[in-house]
Chain A
């Protein structure tokens, strides 16, 4: 691999039997990412189950319960590398019950693959998956129209799906949507270009994944540096060193920049940006560094260092698109711990403004119960201000989770409107 190769994270979504497992198996197999002993294990299982040939879908089967039930119930991560990029697949199940898993997988994704069965066209699940992709602001969506072999590789069938998709997706905010006709089973347009669909001029899926432009997806304008911890070595070489350790959430910070520390509002200048490998002149997202300031200011975990001429909002009342992740429904006016960057406060859900019917995308008012997999717009009040940007502008400083203090479980994930 070359030194400037990037990492691309993508999720896959489709309803059951659309061919998601087969597609992932095909990507891994054709890009030679499956090892012989793994292949051997799959071959053995295929034989035991009486399949003809190798069932590539078996490669992505995870834990035993799932193997026995034959379904995927949690997000599983897969890895493969080509000479151009390293890929991380967040493999998420398609069932409606698993909205939360798709939201989880989507939260860190650069791209989403949405599978559609060419015979059935766009169905409710397709809409739901696209909606989640747009809600989570996945920058790139690739709609794979699968099982083209079962519709005689027909251009008409392909166009029909595109039309259906564009009809409903016009209401959503997806910046970059592409369509690829494939047969995961036979390998058409997955890694290798299909010889059966001359009418398709675009690139196969893998080539698309290798070349999508992702470096401009990160917010490079708003410099945000949430402080994770303070480094105080107190050894002879660094006696008075006081470094603020963190990962740049967005934007670029440079030595000498005028900065403000939030929420205190004190201002100073960046004195140095340090790493074990030496001092840097600038740091940008998502680099992990240690920053020192010219002035002695009291700074601790949860504070945020920002450029003085570009600050986030410090607010206690948030409007949030909330996905409920837990089996136990939200308790009315219950208190939760809210986690936002490295900050943590107490919070209360004050109001459920509306709920989404995630299949029709209609807004439901009057139903205020938040149950597992529900996506709703809510109002949250925190005990102390959080330094936030809107999720649309900043996926890191615009996202939160809620933790139930009684169980310590993560119960909800939210995007700040």
Chain B
């Protein structure tokens, strides 16, 4: 009888599918938060599995900072077409133009914090009651206690002390009008699990994850891509390097690492030897020890 067990990737997959189906069953109007990064691509792939042979029964939602890698936008549009689902875009630029938020100033200015307002506005405008994200508990210590079903109050805020206990596989998504949930189907995956699974399933991901030549600037311990949005300081030098990205975010703050990994096999191998967390390359998380926790409380992804 001993062959009747799942390996760890199959078990993680099955758990994620279970969560996605629970979301669909317990909420009226869920969306997948789609950033074009590997984690949201993975969630989308798992949603495809969860509802096969039906198509994914809810839209993808993209919070567009305006500071995108062109490759990410292309990838997003392709996947929408392939899946035949709707896309909702929340635009940070519009939030700025409408005076909802003000652009940060200075050299390390990012639109990261501004996304929170745009996200919450888009959630409200589209009457979304559950936003499915690709957050993982191993990413950052503030996430270690995050639930699969994470309750937000009517200001979209997360109270880490007031979370519902989750036992067995009984998930409580009950909520009042105006409140919403975040759901995290891949909570239990590590970065390594994600890569091993992407490799196994041969999931398409943006070319940015593969090693490629690019113009970059050395800043805060990583290679920041040159772009129309980047303010170059006098002492900084634009160089061309073979790099790849471990995570994708706003183009102004996503740092790359030097790498020759240009296949999924090589990427998985490289990641397994890494001695730095993936968020070590994102300057938004370097601001303070509790940077992520502060943003999460306000309603960040």
Task: Please give the residue numbers on chain A whose beta carbons come within 8 Å of chain B beta carbons, in ascending order.
Answer: 1, 3-7, 35-38, 41, 61-65, 73-79, 81, 85-86, 88, 100-101, 103-104, 107-108, 214-216, 218, 220, 228-229, 231-235, 237-238, 241, 243, 245-247, 252, 274-277, 284, 286-288, 290, 301, 325, 337, 339-342, 395-396, 399-401, 403, 408-410, 413
Contact = CB atoms under 8 A, between A and B. Distances in A.
Contacts of B4: 215, 218, 220, 252, 284
A339 B172 contact: yes
Contact of A287 (B12, B14, B55, B290): B14
B48 A399 contact: no
B167 A107 contact: yes
B25 A229 contact: yes
B125 interface: no
B161 A65 contact: yes
Contacts of A325: 165
A275 B53 CA distance: 8
Contact of A231 (B53, B160, B170): B53
Given A7-B7, A78-B138, A286-B18, 14 more contacts: A35-B277, A63-B141, A65-B160, A74-B161, A77-B137, A77-B188, A78-B144, A107-B168, A220-B1, A229-B25, A232-B54, A276-B48, A286-B15, A341-B170
A410 B8 contact: no
Interface in B146-170: 160-161, 163-170
A3 B199 CA distance: 12
A400 B188 CA distance: 23
Nearest to A214: B5
Interface in B27-79: 48-55
Contacts of B190: 79, 81, 86
A275 B274 CA distance: 34
Contacts of A61: 141
Contacts of A403: 172, 174
Given A6-B5, A61-B141, A104 B174 contact: no
Contacts of B169: 108, 247, 396
Contact of A245 (B12, B50, B193): B50
Contacts of B277: 35, 37-38
A275 B5 contact: no
10 contacts: A35-B277, A62-B141, A79-B138, A104-B166, A220-B1, A231-B54, A286-B14, A290-B53, A339-B170, A408-B172
Residue among B2, B4, B137, B176 with most chain A CB within 10 A: B4
B168 A396 contact: yes
Given A62-B141, A100-B165, A408-B176, A4 B25 contact: no
B167 A104 contact: yes
Given A1-B196, A86-B8, A237-B53, A399 B138 contact: no
A67 to B, nearest CB: 8
B212 to A, nearest CB: 25
A7 B275 contact: no
A391 to B, nearest CB: 10
Contact of B25 (A100, A277, A342): A342
A286 B142 CA distance: 29
Interface residues of B, number: 61
B186 to A, nearest CB: 12
A37 B221 CA distance: 12
A276 B49 contact: yes
A247 B53 contact: no
A37 B53 contact: no
Contacts of A288: 13-14, 17-18, 21, 49-50
Contacts of A399: 167-168, 170
Given A228-B18, A409-B164, A401 B289 contact: no
Given A233-B55, A399-B168, A408-B176, A35 B293 contact: no
A1 B7 CA distance: 11
Contacts of A6: 5-8, 11
B43 to A, nearest CB: 15
B167 A103 contact: yes
B280 interface: yes
Contacts of B164: 409-410
A76 B142 CA distance: 9
Interface string B266-301: 000000001111001000000001100100000000
A243 B51 CA distance: 10
Contact of B55 (A235, A341, A396): A235
Contact of A3 (B7, B22, B167): B7
A157 B299 CA distance: 51
A231 B196 CA distance: 29
B145 interface: yes
A278 to B, nearest CB: 10
A74 B167 contact: no
Nearest to A41: B289
A246 B25 CA distance: 11
A289 to B, nearest CB: 9
B163 A74 contact: yes
A275 B163 contact: no
A221 B161 CA distance: 40
Contact of B165 (A228, A235, A241, A413): A413
B276 A37 contact: yes
Which 6 A-B pairs give the minimum distances between C-beta atoms?
A215-B5, A233-B54, A288-B17, A408-B174, A7-B8, A276-B52
A241 B18 CA distance: 20
B101 interface: no
A107 B165 CA distance: 11
Contacts of A234: 54
Contacts of A75: 145, 165
A36 B274 CA distance: 9
Contact of B145 (A1, A74, A107, A245): A74
A79 B277 CA distance: 13
